[in-house]
Structure 1
Amino acid sequence: MPSFGKGAITVRMYTDYFCVPCQSAEQRIEYLVADLVKRNIIRITFIDTPVHKQTLLYANYFLYILNRKNDFDHILFARTALFDAARRKIEEKAGLEEFLRKKGIMFKFLDTKSTLAAMNAYIKSDAVRSTPACIIDNGKQKQLFSGADQIIKALELLR
C-alpha cells in the first residue's frame, strides 16, 4: 500500500475523484497534508474510494502514475489532475490518458488487483461509508472524520 511521510501519526485519506465535496475540499486538504508530511508529523495513505462507477478507472491510473514515479510532490500534482479530469467528466480510458499526457503526467501499467483489494479491506475495517473521510491513528487512538470541515479541523490540530 503506497504511503508517504515518516511521521508517527498514520493518516488514511478516503476520497472519490467524482465526489463534489471531495473536489471542493481537495486543495485545502492537500495543503495541510503536504505541510504535515514535509514536517514529518504524519504518514499518509491515499485510498481511492469507489463511490461512483468511474472511480475504479481513476484509482487504477493513480496506481499506474505512482508505479511510474513514486514521489510525493508528483503524486499531489497527479491527484490534482485526476480531480480536474473528473470535474471535466472524462470517463473513458483514452480521454483520461490524453488528458494526463497533456499535463506531463506519465504512467506505467501494472496489475493493481492486490493493491485495490488492500484498499477495499481498509475501507471496510475503517467503516468508511462516505467521502471525503479520514482516519487519524496516533498509536493510542484511531478516529474517523467525515466531511471536509471535520477533516480540515482534525488535520489543523496536528500542526
Structure 2
Amino acid sequence: MHFYRKILQHRLPITIAAALAGIGIMMYYASCDTACSYLRGNLLGIDLKYVGVGYMGAIIALAFFRQADLLRMLVAAGIGVEGFLVEFQVRENVFCPFCLAFGALVILMYLINYERRHMTNAWHRKGLYVFGDAKIPFTEGLRLPLLAMMIAGYVFVVLTFSGSATPAYAAETTAAPSYGKGSWELMIFTDYFCPPCQAAEKDLEPELERLLARGDVKITFVDFPGHKSSSLFAKYFLFAAAANKGYANSLKARSVLFALAGEKKIDQESVLAAALKSKNIALETVDPKPVFQQWLAMIKRFEIDQTPTCILRFSSAYSRKFIGSDQISRELIPELQKRFPGLKK
C-alpha cells in the first residue's frame, strides 16, 4: 500500500516517462525496415505512428501543466482506440509487438491516473463509473464517467481508421512471377489502377493463355507502383502466385485484381482478400519485399517510365518495347500471333 501511495504521489512524472517511452516506440517503428511493418494504417489520412506520437505529446503537455482531469479523459479515449486496434489484430490473426507495447503503456497510464470520486449505491450508476471519472472543465463539480470517453475513442477509430496488417511470412524465398520456358520472353509492366493497363491486360489475357499453353515463351509480370494501393494489390498477386506453381491461378488473380481496381471500391486488405477468396483464388502468404525489390530493379534496368509497357525479347539478339494500350493491341498482339502461331483459344 505504501508503494502504491508513492506511485500516486509521483503519477504525473511517471505518466510523462511512460509517454516518452511510447514516443520512442513509435519513432523506432517509423524508422524500422519494412520487414517489421506489422500494422499499417491511418486516422483521417494521418499515419497511425505519427498519430501515436502526437497523442503521447498531448499526454505529456497535460501532465506537465497538471491538467489531471483532461489527462484522464484523453488516456481513457486511448483505451478505446487501443481496444479497436487489438481487436483488429485478433481479427487479422497478426500481432504487432510495437503496437501492443504502445497499448500496454496506455493501460499503465490509465491505471496510474485512475480516480473514482463519484460514489453511488445505485447498481447501474456503479457500473457506469466503475472505470473511473474526471471533472468536466468549466462545470461546478460535474464528473464524466471515463467509460464514455472509452466508447467515444472506440467509435472515433471505427469511423476514421483505414489500414492493413502484414501477416507472418512463409519461410521460403519468393521470386518474381514468371511462367513458361524458352529463349523468348515477354515482360509485362502494368499498374492495377492505370485504365490503359486495365485495357491492355484484358486484351493480352487470351494471348497469354495461348502462349503459356505452348510452353515455349517465358511470361514475366512486373507490377508498377503507380498508385497508393498498387503495392497492396501487387502483394495479393504474389500470394496467388505462391499458392499454385501453375499459371492458371495467377492469371485468374490478375484478372480479378484489375477488375477490382477498375471499380475503385477496395482499399482495405481484409476486403481484398475476401473478394479474391470469393472467386476461389488460392492464396499463400509470402514475403513480398524481395519481389518488390526485383521489380524495382527491372523497372530501372529497362527504363520503364510509363505504363502499360511490354518488352518482347530474345536473349540479347532482339528486344522491342511496346508502350501504351493501343500499340500493345495493334502491334504486339499481331506480332505474338505471327511469331508463335497455333494453339489459339
- Which TM-score applies when normalising by structure 2? 0.44
User: Is residue 7 from structure 1 mapped to residue 182 from structure 2 by the alignment?
Assistant: yes
Deviation at 1:29? Answer: 0.8
Matched with 1:149 is 326
Alignment size in residue pairs: 159
Q: Hey, what's the Cα distance between the residues in 2 that align with 1:147 and 1:130?
A: 8
**Residue 288 of structure 2, aligned match among 103, 112, 125:** 112
Unaligned runs of 5+ in 2: 1-175, 338-345
Of structures 1 and 2, the larger Rg is shown by 2
Structure 2 residue identity aligned to 1:28: D
Q: Which amino acid is the alignment partner of residue 110 of structure 1? A: V
Counterpart Cα distance in 1 of 2:324 and 2:223: 15
Deviations 1:65-86 (A, max 9, x none): 1111122122111100101111
Match for residue 32 of structure 1 among 207, 210, 219: 207
| Equivalent residue for 1:103, pick from 260, 263, 279 | 279
Structure-1 separation of matches of 2:288 and 2:244: 16
Q: CA deviation at 1:41?
A: 4.2
Match of 1:80 among 243, 255, 261: 255
Cα deviation for residue 32 of structure 1 reads: 1.4
Asked whether the equivalents of residues 13 and 134 of structure 1 are also in contact (C-alpha less than 8 Å), the reply is yes
* Whole-Å separation in 1 of the counterparts to 2:281 and 2:295: 23
Q: What are the ranges of 5 or more consecutive residues in structure 1 without an aligned counterpart?
A: none
Compare the two structures and name the one with the higher helix fraction.
Answer: 2
Counterpart CA distance in 2 for 1:87 and 1:157 is: 28
Deviation at 1:126, TM superposition (A): 0.6
The equivalent of 1:94 in structure 2 is 270
Distance 1:73 1:117 in 2: 25
Q: Higher relative CO (CA 8 A, sep ≥ 6), structure 1 or 2?
A: 1
| Counterpart contact for 2:249–2:282, Cα < 8 Å | no
Q: CA–CA distance in 2 between the matches of 1:39 and 1:69? A: 19
Displacement of 1:52: 0.9
Matches of 2:232 and 2:282, distance apart in 1: 16
Once the two structures are superposed, residues 26-49 of structure 1 have per-residue CA deviations (whole angstroms, 9 ceiling, x without a partner) of 221111122122223420101110
Q: Which amino acid aligns with 1:127?
A: E
Task: Measure the CA separation in 2 of the matches of 1:50 and 1:148.
Answer: 18
Task: Judge conservation of contact 2:184–2:313 (CA < 8 Å) in 1.
Answer: yes
Other-structure match for 1:125: 301
Task: Provide the secondary structure at the position in 2 that maps to 1:66.
Answer: helix
Q: Look up the SS of the partner of 2:304 in the other structure.
A: coil
Secondary structure of 2:178's aligned partner: coil
Q: Secondary structure at the match of 2:179?
A: coil
Aligned-residue CA RMSD (Å): 1.3
